[in-house]
Amino acid sequence: MTSVLKCFKTLITRKKNRVSTLPVMPPDTKKCNGAVPRVPPTSAPTEAIAGPPPATTTPATTAAPAPSHVPLPVCNGTHLPQPHPTPNKRSIHDYYFGKTLGEGSFSTVWLVRDIHTKKDYALKQCDKAHILRERKTESIKREKQVLNILSETGAPFCVKLYCTFQDPEKLFFVITYAKNGELLAHINRNKRLSVDCARFYAAELVVALEHLRRVNVIHRDLKPENILLDENMHVLVTDFGCAKIVHRPQSGTDSDDESARSRRNSFVGTAQYISPELLTDKNASFSSDLWALGCIIYQMLTGQPPFQSRSEYLIFQKIQKLEYEFPDNFDPTAEDLIRKLLVLNPTERLGASDEEGYPSIRSHPFFTNTPWNSLASTPPPTLFSDPTHRPAHNDNWVTSDMKPGLDNSQLSRILGLDQGQAPVEPPAPRPQAPPQQAVARRKKSYVQDLTEAEIQRRLALQKAENKW
């Protein structure tokens, strides 16, 4: 037993010697006075921390973490930067939920009000299970990336992304609330827009497309449904789920042309507004959005898109053959602009060869006297030909008994299911059917449900009515 204990002590002694002789990494040339306090992990955006690791002058030993009140370490007379603390995370309980603004295949858009700022927003709620099932993960990530780019660069006439958050089942995007809805609804309500209205909104779309091109974004699904009007009736381009980033601005140019091409080559969009190059080589470009601009101007002035048919296939055939026509008394300058935008070759469309912005479109006679530098502050032309067409808005939709969030009780409130059971009205008396219809209805009864006397009566009735 004594020999075993001696062997055990010898092994422990050797192990301690090996630990004490471990090589020590040489310290960085920059030395910091004081220990660097440990910082807990954070979910805030990662920032570069320039401080070097603490110098090691003694064998490795276990040290207790520095307390939170330790002053910042000093490196060459300056304090090292620390990561920002974790920001307060948002949730659905930070918002009152109002009406539904729109629904998609895997998302619902709600009108919400921030309980802190009392401002209204549009909250897009996306179902995670549906996104995974339909393989829409990249589309959602791309939409968030594009919205971040547009918000950071102050994109004119585009919706802004204010924040995003999630729960175990849903993703949430808080974006600009467009109080006056879709442009398409106003076109349909007025049958068509005046030339002045069409000119003004087309000019705002041109400015929006100029910025998208400047930040290397192709929308690829520009249409009246994706053009909203804010509280001052100015344009807000939305729905960037189909958008593509040609290349990141900081990279200068694409290092791999084939890679850039593969990012653009995919078939998306809506049939009536798809450019012909997407139907052939599927190579989207900024010129694809100019084609959609021509279709939208045509629809604003006529009430209908230029290419229509019974099926998408026939619509595509008309697009490839450029089969469309202008109605009588169509504005000649607008017709000339549309013809120069709806060109089969994307490189020959008006504005396609412009290096910066779209000056060739701005200088077209259709936009004569357009206040390009003050569009955002210029009141739009009157859109409502009939005062009864103006939609009514209720800015006081949040009541004192409302609670933030979107649980079952709030859903019941929104759907009108919490107003108590409606009184049950007695059913209206059914009109008496003619005798022949009553007999035909009785014949639908099953034979096994009839008495023997009833069966004999019906057989006699059939025999009397059968002339054969």
Is 124 assigned to a binding site? yes
- Per-residue DSSP letters for 119-145? -EEEEEEEEHHHHHHTT-HHHHHHHHH
Which neighbouring-strand residues pair with 163?
A: 174
Q: What is the pLDDT of residue 28?
A: 44
113 in a domain, yes or no? yes
Which neighbouring-strand residues pair with 244?
A: 218
Q: Are residues 204 and 149 in the same domain?
A: no
**Between 218 and 413, residue with greater pLDDT:** 218
Convert the pLDDT of each residue in 68-94 to its tens digit. 444 444 444 444 344 444 456 899 999
Domain boundary among 319, 349, 384: 384
Q: Are residues 242 and 315 in the same domain?
A: yes
Q: How many domains does the chain have?
A: 2
Q: Both tokens of residue 130?
A: 């549906």
Q: Are residues 195 and 335 in the same domain?
A: yes
Which band of pLDDT confidence, cut at 50, 70 and 90, is reported for residue 429?
low
User: Range of 303's domain?
Assistant: 180-384
Q: What is the pLDDT of residue 81?
A: 43
Q: What is the mean pLDDT of the chain?
A: 78
Across residues 364-384, what is the average pLDDT?
Answer: 94
Q: What is the pLDDT of residue 190?
A: 92
Choice among 221, 239, 407, 449 that is catalytic: 221
What does the radius of gyration of the chain's CA atoms come to, in whole angstroms? 35
**Between 419 and 362, residue with greater pLDDT:** 362
CATH number for the domain that contains residue 215: 1.10.510.10
How far CA 318 is from CA of 125, 300, 349, in Å, comes to 37, 20, 18
**Between 174 and 462, residue with greater pLDDT:** 174
**Between 56 and 369, residue with greater pLDDT:** 369
CATH number for the domain that contains residue 146: 3.30.200.20
137 in a domain, yes or no? yes
Q: Are residues 122 and 192 in the same domain?
A: no
Spatial CA neighbour of 282 closest among 255, 244, 338: 244
Across residues 414-434, what is the average pLDDT?
Answer: 54
Domain boundary among 335, 364, 384: 384
Q: What is the pLDDT of residue 193?
A: 96
207 in a domain, yes or no? yes
318 in a domain, yes or no? yes
Q: Both tokens of residue 213?
A: 């091109």
**Between 403 and 264, residue with greater pLDDT:** 403
Decide if pLDDT at 243 tops 50: yes
Across residues 195-216, what is the average pLDDT?
Answer: 98
Spatial CA neighbour of 235 closest among 222, 221, 218, 216: 222
Q: Are residues 258 and 117 in the same domain?
A: no
Please report, for the chain, how many H helices and E strands are present, in that order. 14, 12
pTM of the model: 0.68
Q: Are residues 117 and 241 in the same domain?
A: no
Q: Are residues 252 and 366 in the same domain?
A: yes
SS3 111: strand
Q: Are residues 351 and 246 in the same domain?
A: yes
Q: Are residues 108 and 252 in the same domain?
A: no
- Helix/strand/coil (H/E/C) assignment for every residue in 325-348: CCCCCCCHHHHHHHHHHCCCCHHH
Q: Are residues 361 and 342 in the same domain?
A: yes
Q: Are residues 268 and 160 in the same domain?
A: no
Domain boundary among 135, 160, 177: 177
Q: Are residues 190 and 330 in the same domain?
A: yes
Decide if pLDDT at 311 tops 90: yes
Which band of pLDDT confidence, cut at 50, 70 and 90, is reported for residue 269?
confident
- Residue 221 annotated to the active site: yes
394 in a domain, yes or no? no
346 in a domain, yes or no? yes
Mean pLDDT check: name the lowest of 75-79, 299-303, 335-339, 462-466.
75-79
459 in a domain, yes or no? no
Decide if pLDDT at 294 tops 80: yes
71 in a domain, yes or no? no
